[in-house]
Amino acid sequence: MKTNKLWWLLSVMIPLTLIISACATPTTEAPKKFVFGLIMVGPKEDHGWNEAHWVAAQDVLKNVPNTDLVWIDKVNPADRPGVTIEQVSDDLVAKGAKVIFTNSAEFKDGTNNAAKKHTAVTFIHISGDAVLDKSAPANVGNFMGRMEYGKMIAGCAAALTTQTGSIAYLGPLIDAETRRLTNSVYLGAKYCWENARGKKDTPLKFEVTWIGFWFNIPGVTLDPTQVVNGFFDKGADVVLSGIDTTEALVVAGQRAKAGKKVWAIPYDYIGGCKEAEAVCLGVPYFNWTPAYQKTITEVQAGKWKQSWDWNGPDWKNINDPKTSHVGWVDGKALSADGKKSLDAFIADLGSGKINLFAGPLKYQDGKEFVKAGATADDKTVWYTEQLLEGVTGKSK
């Protein structure tokens, strides 16, 4: 009886398998186009970090002839349990990808491992530093935008607007990148609070709460909506988002509709203000297109070389889509006076008249970050160890 049963099982499974595999004859079309891949940590239409990358990939398709894109989004432990960067890279390489962009700091080890396996493919790990710390295989490059400037501008806009003198920052997870961005917001805010607003005597309140990841994962991270509500309840009236999704703006919009005077500043994506224009002071955004395009054309021409690029704004016009890697668009909620002061601040940042990473600057525990009379070099800023003195919140 038992063997009978097994035989039956096999006789059902095998023809079924054959039928399915017959239907699955792979179509063999020679991919003449230059294929590049994009692996995103979150959903491609998040109005944030991932959408900024998605838009850049679409631009490449438009601007560089004969290119094709293969992509996968939501590669994170909550959305795709058990799926690794190595697996996904195999898939994209199998689809003909010659260049693969991976867009989360969390993907460092996975990208390096995939690159070791697929040595003929160029991998770009974004916001990575494997090239800097020399752990990267030869076919891995890193680039990142100098969002520090965008965050300084955002901080300034917040300080120019706040009426309670209390600003809050919705932080993702704690690492060197998020620390330096938080510090940049604080430095920009402090500068404009003391200079443009002339409030040297009343210290600006600046608090950060880390939710634990770049976006909400129920049960794993703090709920950003609750965190933002908490900020407003405690008296902050401007919340800046450090996470990849738009909760800060959405909550501010709800509160404003209920008659509260509050504002928010989203992050990452040029269209980030969309969800609540009326409370949006503006958005610092990444323009990945120039860097993506450069990589693709260099690989096509066989001229790509490993590098770690920290690409800044084009100070002639920080919103030039062809040349500026980081930009800022004013929001509808920014006042006319605020706009004037902010433009002056941006001009001074660009001319070098203001360098906010000039000493003396101290970390939270009093340790020196930048000496008096000195300015921080790239490596010091990149590997920021703590939040700055004056910021409330955890450094580690």
Interactions with another protein, residue window 96-155 (CB under 8 A) = 105-109, 117
d(CA 346, CA 101): 31
* Minimum CB distance to another protein smaller for 84 or for 195: 84
Binding flag, residue 90, another protein (CB under 8 A): yes
Query: To the nearest whole angstrom, how small is the minimum distance from the Cβ of residue 173 to another protein?
Result: 6
- Part in contact with another protein (CB under 8 A); list of ranges 137-145, 174-182, 223-231, 261-269: 174-182
CA 392 → CA 40, 197, 210, 386, distances in Å? Answer: 31, 21, 11, 11
* Minimum CB distance to another protein smaller for 93 or for 270: 93
- Part in contact with another protein (CB under 8 A); list of ranges 15-23, 140-148, 299-307, 357-365: 15-23
Q: Which helix (H) or strand (E) holds 174?
A: none
> Which of residues 61, 132, 176, 374 is near another protein by CB under 8 A?
176
> Which of residues 3, 4, 28, 351 is near another protein by CB under 8 A?
4
- How many other CB atoms are there within 10 angstroms of residue 286's CB atom? 27
Asked if residue 288 lies in contact with residue 323, where contact means CB atoms within 8 angstroms, the answer is no
Residue 34: both structure tokens together? 């230059």
Binding flag, residue 218, another protein (CB under 8 A): no
SS3 98: strand
> Which of residues 64, 69, 78, 329 is near another protein by CB under 8 A?
78
Alpha helix ranges (H) inside 77-146: 85-94, 108-117
d(CA 281, CA 152): 13
Binding flag, residue 60, another protein (CB under 8 A): no
SS3 360: coil
Residue 3: both structure tokens together? 């063997």
Asked if residue 212 lies in contact with residue 220, where contact means CB atoms within 8 angstroms, the answer is yes
Binding flag, residue 21, another protein (CB under 8 A): yes
Binding flag, residue 24, another protein (CB under 8 A): yes
Query: To the nearest whole angstrom, how small is the minimum distance from the Cβ of residue 90 to another protein?
Result: 6
SS3 131: coil
d(CA 352, CA 259): 40
Binding flag, residue 223, another protein (CB under 8 A): no
What is the contact surface with another protein in residues (CB under 8 A)?
A: 1, 4-6, 8-9, 12-13, 20-21, 23-24, 26, 70-73, 76-84, 86-88, 90-92, 94-95, 105-109, 117, 173-176, 212-213, 219-220, 396
